[in-house]
Amino acid sequence: MIPISERKRKAAKRGLKYHPLNNIFEGCSGHHINIKHVIYIPLDDHLIPHNAKTGENMKAINEIAFKYIWDNIDDVRVPLPDLVNIMRKVK
């Protein structure tokens, strides 16, 4: 598994911030739901080509990420009201 520091460095290199909303787990991939927030999802669910900066295919991949985080709500790292507000702002 890639260390968190390396994940943050790679995100910064792409012009993205790195604020995880749920806990990292084996076999996951960090998905940016926007340019700031990350939801860890199973690697197999992170196959849709997308771009957080341009919005390309973001609706489809975010639906997968949102379903995953709701189905695994016990692993969320932020207060539930904050999570709901962040998700509402995502387009």
Q: Where are the domains of the chain?
A: 4-89
pLDDT for the residue numbered 3: 63
- For residue 34, the 8-state DSSP code is S
Check whether 91 has a pLDDT greater than 70.
Answer: no
Of 32, 23, 39, 4, nearest to 74 by C-alpha is: 23
Q: CA 46 to CA 10: how far, in whole Å?
A: 17
Instruction: Summarize the confidence of residues 61-74 as an average pLDDT.
Output: 97
pLDDT for the residue numbered 62: 96
Q: What is the pTM of this model?
A: 0.84
pLDDT for the residue numbered 18: 84
If you search the block for the tokens 């926007």, which residue do you land on? 34
Q: Using pLDDT thresholds of 50, 70 and 90, give the confidence band for residue 35.
A: confident
Q: What is the Cα Rg of the chain in Å?
A: 12
